Amino acid sequence: MKKHSLWIYMGIISISLILLSGCGLFQGEQTLEEVDAPPEEASYTDDLDEATDGETDGETEGENEDAGTDEGTEAGEEAEVVETVERQLYLLDSNGMIVPQTVELPKDKEVAKQTLEYLVKGGPVTELLPNGFQAVLPTGTEIIGLNIEEDGTLVVDVSEEFSNYRPEDEKKIIEAMTFTLTQFDNVERITLWINGHEQEVMPVNGTPISEGYSRANGINIYQAGAVDLMDSKAVTLYYPTQHNDQFYHVPVTQHIEMDESDSYQSIVQALIEGPSLDLDLLNVFNAGVTLMEDPEYTDGILKLSFNENILDNLEEGSISNEVMETLVLTLTEQPGVDGIDVMVENLEEVFNEDGVPYSEPVTRDMFVPTGSM
């Protein structure tokens, strides 16, 4: 009986040891509280999703920012690559006059051809046209080719569409082409070809062009009835006008009475007197302006000496920009005149409206773009 009890006792102890050993195998170092705690896998998954979302958003934003920066950089680089250059286009204004407008064009090796293409109605100039201005060459005109000859004649070959214009527009078209293309120093005149065939006259109204067309043929030709044609000479004068808030100069070719001994003085006097009233242009000279001495020409520079009435501000000794531009544009149209040197009585130096002194002769390129083909 005692032996049987001993075996029972030893069996209970063994079972207890086994149970305790099993708990250690399943739980290791964990406490009961840790065992009872809910698994954290779900929270890890949630955190991972949130972190993934955050990281993805962050990466996306970063990538977008980088992409935006790259695109911006590329756009910036493209903008820098597309160089522009100022050119003068002779366009039709709201008064039906052919006038110069300075426009920024993409830089191109074929500058003369490109400039002419920007005179075509419905062409690339359309979005650049200032308010109130129109292109002059017929819609669909193609510039087939240009060829400059040694004597300064520019042969212009255009397509058949060029001939689709009204007779009354013929002079405006040839004047706009001529003055636009002769802005280049090495172009003296133009001749016209259509589809490879030389033209003796313009195709619609028969304006003669066999000898070429140059600035000497005039632009916006105005005939004043009171002028004696025998004692006068056709000269292109520039008068200011205004459209909305924009000031610009209109070239007008008219006969003026000419002093054979000093044509420059006659031209300046015509500017001072101003345009004919029926031209609806502006006279920017003050009353009483006069030349104090005869103009002096030396090596391309024309020296003009005025009385104080030429000034728009006597105390500051300044001449209005419109007056100076009118003088320069008009007088540099004369053969051999590259610039003018303006003097005023009782003043050592004269200034522009911004107080900058005219310490050097004023040339045409201060107001309009110049250059060669």
304-350 tens-digit pLDDT:
999 999 999 999 999 999 999 999 999 999 999 999 999 999 999 99
Among candidate residues 224, 240, 215, 236, the one with its CA nearest the CA of residue 326? 240
CA neighbours closer than 13 Å in the CB half-sphere of residue 130: 21
Amino acid at 172: K
Residue type (1 letter), 134: Q
Burial degree of 194 (CB within 10 A; 0-12, 13-18, 19+): middle
Percentage of the chain beyond pLDDT 70 is: 78
* Closest CA relative to residue 91, chosen from 208, 246, 283: 246
Planar angle of CA 33, 36, 41, nearest 5 degrees = 115
Taking only the tens place, the pLDDT of each residue in 123-153 is 999 999 988 999 999 999 999 999 999 999 9
pTM of the predicted protein model: 0.76
Least trusted range by pLDDT, from 13-22, 220-229, 283-292: 13-22
Structural tokens at position 82? 């597309």
- The β-bridge partners of 193 are 157, 198
**Angle in degrees, CA 267, 268, 270, rounded to 5:** 65
User: H helices of 237-343, where?
Assistant: 263-273, 321-331
Residue 272: predicted pLDDT: 97
pLDDT at 39 over 90: no
Mean pLDDT (the chain, rounded) = 83
Please give the average per-residue pLDDT across 274-287, as a whole number.
93
Which H or E run includes 62? Answer: helix 41-81
pLDDT at 10: 45
> Per-residue pLDDT averaged across 66-71, rounded?
46
Tokens of 188: 């003296």
* 296 contacts: CB under 8 Å, gap ≥ 6: 302, 303
* C-alpha to C-alpha distances, 64 to 51, 58, 61, nearest whole angstrom: 19, 10, 5
**Structure tokens given for 42:** 């779900």
Confidence class for position 232, pLDDT limits 50, 70, 90: confident
Q: What pLDDT score does 19 carry? A: 37
CA-to-CA distance for 201 and 205, rounded, in angstroms?
A: 8
> Helix (H, G, I), strand (E, B), or coil: what is residue 71?
helix
Taking 80 as the threshold, does the pLDDT of residue 71 lie above it? Answer: no
Q: What is the mean pLDDT of residues 26-46?
A: 35
3-state secondary structure of 318: strand
Strand partners, 196: none
* Cα radius of gyration (the chain): 42
| DSSP strands (E only) in the chain | 84-92, 98-106, 143-148, 153-158, 189-194, 197-198, 213-214, 232-243, 246-257, 296-298, 301-306, 339-344, 362-363
Amino acid residing at 238: Y
Nearest to 221 by CA among 207, 203, 200: 207
| Confidence at residue 130, expressed as pLDDT on a 0 to 100 scale | 86
* N residues, the chain: 373
Using a 10 angstrom Cβ sphere, with 0-12 exposed, 13-18 middle and 19 or more buried, the burial of residue 156 is buried
For the cut 60, the answer to whether the pLDDT of residue 12 exceeds it is: no
**Banded pLDDT at 23 (limits 50, 70, 90):** very low
Q: Is the pLDDT of residue 78 over 60?
A: no
Q: Which tokens sit at 39?
A: 């698994």
pLDDT band at 80 (very low <50, low <70, confident <90, very high): low
50 has pLDDT over 50? no
Instruction: Record the tokens describing residue 71, joined without a space.
Output: 């695109």
| pLDDT (0 to 100) of residue 373 | 66
d(CA 142, CA 196): 12
Q: Tell me, what's the pLDDT at 22?
A: 43
Domain range list for the chain: 84-217, 229-366
